[in-house]
Amino acid sequence: MKKTIKAFDPIDEEEKDLMASIEQEEWNPVKNIQQEKEKAITAARNTLKKDKRINLRLSQKDYHQIQVKAIEEGIPYQTLISSVIHKYLNGSLSPRS
């Protein structure tokens, strides 16, 4: 077994498990690394590509609150709206408690 040098401590349990798995050599290389890289790059580009435009009417109050939240997050308000829609569609937007 190869000795691995840890450059940092894991930030959470998932990362800790992943590091242990790598250290125990549980991973196997893919047969065609270049093809797999290209597939991953294409998937990432398609995920981030914003190629559709919509018009949306909001109340003045909602529009202002979105702008305030976006400023707090340090992102453009269009990006915030897009993120909220994306999270809702993927089921990761949780209601307030």
Where are the domains positioned within the chain?
A: 60-89
Query: E strand or H helix at 80, and its extent?
Result: helix 77-89
Distance CA(40)–CA(34), nearest Å, equals 10
Distance CA(54)–CA(49), nearest Å, equals 15
Whole-number pLDDT of residue 73: 94
Q: Return the C-alpha torsion angle 54, 81, 43, 52, nearest 10.
A: 10
Whole-number pLDDT of residue 3: 58
Whole-number pLDDT of residue 45: 85
What is the value of pTM for the model shown? 0.52
Whole-number pLDDT of residue 72: 95
Whole-number pLDDT of residue 60: 97
Share in percent of the chain as helix, strand, coil (round to 5): 55, 0, 45
- Residue-by-residue pLDDT tens, the chain, 97 positions: 555 566 778 788 989 898 888 889 898 888 999 999 999 999 888 877 778 889 999 999 999 999 999 999 999 999 999 989 988 998 888 777 6
Whole-number pLDDT of residue 6: 63
Whole-number pLDDT of residue 36: 93
